Amino acid sequence: MKAAVVTFPGSNRERDIARALKHASGVAPAMVWHAETDLPAGTDLVVLPGGFSYGDYLRCGAIAARSNIMAAVQAHAARGGLVLGVCNGFQILCEAQLLPGVLMRNDRLRFMCKRQNLRVERTDTAFTHRYAQGQVIDVCIAHGEGNWTADADAVARIEDKGLVAFRYCDANGVVSPETNCNGSVNSIAGIYSEKRNVLGMMPHPENLIDALVGGTDGRGLFESLASRMAA
Amino acid sequence: MTATAPRITPELVAEHGLKPDEYARFLELIGREPTITELGIVSAMWNEHCSYKSSRLHLKGLPTSAPWVIQGPGENAGVIDIGDGDAIAFKMESHNHPSYIEPYQGATTGVGGILRDVFTMGARPIAALNALRFGSPDHPKTRHLVSGVVAGIGGYGNSFGVPTVGGSVGFHTRYDGNILVNAMAVGLAKTDGIFYAAAAGVGNPIVYLGSKTGRDGIHGATMASAEFDANSDEKRPTVQVGDPFAEKLLLEACLELMQTDSVIAIQDMGAAGLTCSAVEMGAKGNLGVELILDNVPCREEGMSAYEMMLSESQERMLMVLKPEKREEAEAIFRKWGLDFAVVGYTTDTLRFVVKHHGETVADLPIKELGDEAPLYDRPHISNAFQPTIDPASVAAPVDNATALARLLATPDMCSKRWVWEQYDHLILGNTVQKPGGDAAIVRIEDGPKGVALTTDVTPRYCEADPVQGGRQAVAEAWRNITAVGGLPLAITDNLNFGNPEKPDVMGQFVGCLKGIGEACLALDFPVVSGNVSLYNETQGRSILPTPTIGGVGLLDDVTLHATVALRQAGDVLAVIGDTTGWIGQSVYLRDICGREEGAPPPVDLAVERRNGDFVRGLIRSGKVTTVHDCSDGGLAVAVAEMAMAGDIGVSFDTLPADIPAHAFLFGEDQARYVIAADAATIDAVAAEAKAAGVPFRKLGVAGGDAVNIPGETPAKVADLRNGHDNWLPNYMAGEIDHP
Amino acid sequence: MKARVTVTLKTGVLDPQGKAIEGALSSLGVEGVTGVRQGKVFDIELAHTQPEAAQAALKDACERLLANTVIENYRVEILS
Amino acid sequence: MKARVTVTLKTGVLDPQGKAIEGALSSLGVEGVTGVRQGKVFDIELAHTQPEAAQAALKDACERLLANTVIENYRVEILS
Ligand SMILES: Nc1ncnc2c1ncn2[C@@H]1O[C@H](COP(=O)(O)OP(=O)(O)O)[C@@H](O)[C@H]1O
Ligand SMILES: [Mg+2]
């Protein structure tokens, strides 16, 4: 798999995601500085990592969404190339309008770092085919602004077209207000673009790839990507 | 020198915190009246914070060396060798006074400062910890302070990208007007890639790096050393604002630069900014320094030399650069969008010369600014002797199951999850033991090694008996590291005390240091860095003596570690170490009986070491994986915490007849660990313990859904957890922090 | 030249902070507050000498960065 | 009754956000911006009928919650 991880000033989980990609595919991804205008030739997957790009000042992801490299990421996505945005990466994708909606401050107004169950909503995508339909995975969240919201039309479109990737849930896969850790509309933790080649998600699968460090439920995502690329 | 400069009046000297005799000493040193800039410089260098004038004498007695110590006290951070060419740099520092005035920004800048101390040494931060003390929960400001400090610590560390993996939080009315915010940072370096502050070579450029200089915290260092009065809410000094984004850029730029073999010396700008950093670099390298302030990147118009020299703007560094590397270095800083300016050079004059607008605004002997700083042997008296309390003389006001449930839901003993869930404790993907265990465990890169990290102190013990309290703080840090399977290697200390000009406070300081030193020596646990914070006092009332200990230990293989959670029904629990039912200064006596008194539990360092080495052996051989050290709240609380973590009940065996039940359950004898394993393993451990002369006693068996104390109503684990988990969120409910 | 840009949430967009502040004010005993919406202001210094040019530059700044026009409205005022 | 509260940083206090925005505007090619300071606005609905009472309540709200008076100034405007 040829993966590229874009690093912005203030990114801070780029090493974590690079490690997860390498673990799954055996190949270290290219690290691409935001000021570049092109992705490395032959890039299959672009990853926008977690962190606090530009300090999350103004709005999270806003300044990074306007950096040089994002034009190349847009073009890559338009060609059907795979794009994954995790946490700050998701925020950047929304600000860049590669995904609809916006991530507002958590409803409890606090940064929250904790384990959280997610329900995998579909498994026919490049990102999730290694999971089982409806599988409940245990990953972690670490964000202050993960409260996804969009106007009613956009929400309806996302739901109708089955573009919800993950929802916050309990250990049995039940979605309820109690398991909605940040106030997101319909407990949405991650969404796809219309062609399902772009995924944005708040939780951090890259920090759950190791039995010794909390568990391995994040691996499925990277293994899905790695096998798809290898094919 | 400048004609328009203000006259140096005795009032002005006093405002700078210099005592008349200190000023006289300075006059003698320079042989003329100083300029205002010089007065500012000396006031910064000679205040308590920079000169350690009250504490230096006593700090000298601490053990600071061991074969694995690469750098002891005296640099930005201490450094220890953890094998395979890897080193750990770490230090702890306080930001108490600023955090009381502006909790969010005070805490952020505290965290930022300590992270800089660590990466200045060439180490990439891999973990942060903190130790917090707040006033009584009933005090009107407490909630706001908790909310702001916790948000600030998280706000900075989360954005910077370091996992905050441990710490401690306590409440006591003696911190009402003077909270404690102690922050610790831990970084990973290569033993051959460590950077120091001593300048070298004459005529080398001195480079300013990072953010611009503003009028932030001018006289912050002086403020930190002046006793608070009732008006401090009104003082409204220029508060420093933390910028974790700039710090992250500074980290990456510094580490990138350090790869290029261009750095001769590097020093962060902390308290008293440019003054302290420039003087220290020169003095340590036996060189003079000349600064040209016209080149200092400023954020505000018309800043005077005085202001630039005393500004405490954050996220700045000073560096001595190899002249031929200037362009390469500058390109790196520009890439990261940071300021880079040559602001002076090293000289062979041993003078500290500062120029601004073509004028010399300061010209001082550089070594003497440090070496000739006042040094005090302040009078000290040891505290009144507290009697040992006979456990039989203390009646139990409630049954033990009720006392247990109550204790678990007190401000000091409740779960601190509400706090650490606001800290990103998982970033970097190496947190093997997250907050909530005994010590945190952070794996070193892909393993198998890891470090065990903790911060500890029991202020009420220190107040009751400073020497025992000092010993206990070190012993507890050592024990927490041991309880996860780590070999304790070294500590950093953060000595928070009241006004040293009061002989009883000075007595606490001297006593605690004596105890710390004894414990470090006996446990092979030297001090490699630290910080002193004095004058923690409001309206004449001092805080509890609080010498926070930050401990670092090593696990050769992180897969062999222990956690507190009970694993399965049928496992047998046992305590390693002797239980006498020591009730004096226990939280039971304080929170259940309403008596804050008595002598604290004595710390026998030889026993401490023997018991700990035994337990560590059990973990390292893979025999035992469930261990919890026994501290506040004694056996009952330790066992209940293990039950809550594992979601399994425990039935206590018949309690011993020779100790009152409540003293057995809640007494705080030291050097103890509760372990759990299957029955056969526990029997084998019993035999080993006997052979090794280590006290061992079976406590009970895991199973069911309640903690059962013989003859009492079972306490459901779920109910205990409810009280334990909810005290803090309930207390904080409704408070929103709004930085 | 000085200007102020005010960015506010569009009507109908949920404002969790505003709501929390409303709750906090009422528990602090500040009475009579029935709604709070939070927005941002930017106080901007400009090198321009013509108000029209400044206005145009700031409109551009808002459209491209300062406001997320999906959820936010903005207003530009030239102050001096 | 409607009011607007504007909270801005005191002069001299570092504004990391403003700094980052200034940098971003210049790299986006928005010209002539020489300084940005970010603040907050609160658009508040009140049950009061007397402007004086509303003003007093909001001053109280600012002192106790909306502004961090150690580093921020505030201004209350009654709009209607
Ligand atoms: N209590 C202490 N024990 C040991 N070393 C200390 C203690 N207090 C300060 N030091 C050491 O003295 C030096 C100066 O401390 P400090 O002024 O706090 O550092 P910085 O200039 O980085 O803020 C440091 O090397 C520190 O480790
Ligand atoms: Mg330092």
The reported pLDDT for the residue numbered C6 is: 97
Q: Which of these, B98, B101, B100, lies nearest to B112 by C-alpha position?
A: B98
The pLDDT-based confidence of B218 (bands split at 50, 70, 90) is confident
The reported pLDDT for the residue numbered A228 is: 79
Mean pLDDT of chain C: 93
Q: Which of these, A12, A10, A220, lies nearest to A118 by C-alpha position?
A: A220
Domain count, chain B: 1
Q: What is the CB neighbour count within 10 angstroms for residue B299?
A: 18
Chosen for mutation from D11, D69, D70, D74 (greatest number of chain B CBs closer than 10 Å) is D70
User: Which of B44-53, B155-164, B197-206, B562-571 bottoms out in mean pLDDT, i.e. has the lowest?
Assistant: B44-53
Buried b or exposed e, range B520-558, using 16+ CB within 10 angstroms: bebbbbbbbbbbbbbbbbbeeebbbbbbbbbbbbbbeeb
Q: Over 50: is that where the pLDDT of B429 sits?
A: yes
> Model confidence over B453-485: pLDDT tens digits?
999 999 999 999 999 999 999 999 999 999 999
Binding residues of B for ATP: 52, 91, 493, 530
Assess if residue B393 is contained within a domain: no
Rg of chain C in Å (alpha carbons): 16
Mean pLDDT of chain B: 94
* Residue B276's CATH number: 3.90.650.10
Q: Over 70: is that where the pLDDT of B225 sits?
A: no
* Residue A21's CATH number: 3.40.50.880
Is B49 labeled as catalytic in the residue annotation? yes
Using an 8 Å Cβ cutoff, are B140 and B293 in contact?
Answer: no
Sketch the domain layout of chain D as residue ranges.
Answer: 2-78
Say whether residue C12 is in contact with chain A using an 8 A CB cutoff: yes
Find the helix packing angle between B605-620 and B679-692, rounded to 10°: 140
Q: Which residues in chain A land under pLDDT 50? A: none
Chain B residue at shortest CA distance from A206: B429
Binding residues of B for substrate: 94-97, 116, 240, 312-314, 533
Cα of B313 vs centre of ligand 1, distance in Å, is 20
**DSSP designation for B501:** T
The reported pLDDT for the residue numbered B49 is: 86
Q: Which of these, B66, B146, B54, B131, lies nearest to B520 by C-alpha position?
A: B66
The dotted CATH code for C2-78 is 3.30.1280.10
Are the Cβ atoms of B736 and C21 closer than 8 angstroms? yes
Say whether residue B423 is in contact with chain A using an 8 A CB cutoff: yes
The pLDDT-based confidence of C70 (bands split at 50, 70, 90) is confident
> Model confidence over C1-35: pLDDT tens digits?
999 999 999 998 888 889 889 988 988 889 899 99
Assess if residue B514 is contained within a domain: no
The pLDDT-based confidence of B582 (bands split at 50, 70, 90) is very high
Using an 8 Å Cβ cutoff, are B423 and B618 in contact?
Answer: no
Q: Which of A87, A94, A140, A181 is catalytic?
A: A87
Say whether residue D5 is in contact with chain B using an 8 A CB cutoff: no
Is A159 labeled as catalytic in the residue annotation? no
Residue A201 to residue A188: CA distance in whole angstroms: 9
The reported pLDDT for the residue numbered B219 is: 62
The reported pLDDT for the residue numbered B738 is: 55
Mutate to test the pocket of ligand 1, among B111, B527, B529, B532 (most ligand atoms within 8 A of CB): B529
Assess if residue B664 is contained within a domain: no
Is A204 labeled as catalytic in the residue annotation? yes
Are the Cβ atoms of C20 and B734 closer than 8 angstroms? no
Q: pLDDT over 70 for what percent of chain B?
A: 96
Residue B228 to residue A155: CA distance in whole angstroms: 55
Average pLDDT over every residue of B85-94: 98
The reported pLDDT for the residue numbered B450 is: 98
Residue C52 to residue C66: CA distance in whole angstroms: 19
Average pLDDT over every residue of C50-63: 94
Tokens of B438: 């005994």
The reported pLDDT for the residue numbered B737 is: 59
Nearest CA owner, ligand 1 atom 17: B50
Q: Which of these, A40, A12, A9, A10, lies nearest to A27 by C-alpha position?
A: A40
Mutate to test the pocket of ligand 1, among B93, B531, B549 (most ligand atoms within 8 A of CB): B531
> Model confidence over B168-188: pLDDT tens digits?
999 999 999 999 999 999 999
Q: Which of B16, B49, B561, B628 is catalytic?
A: B49
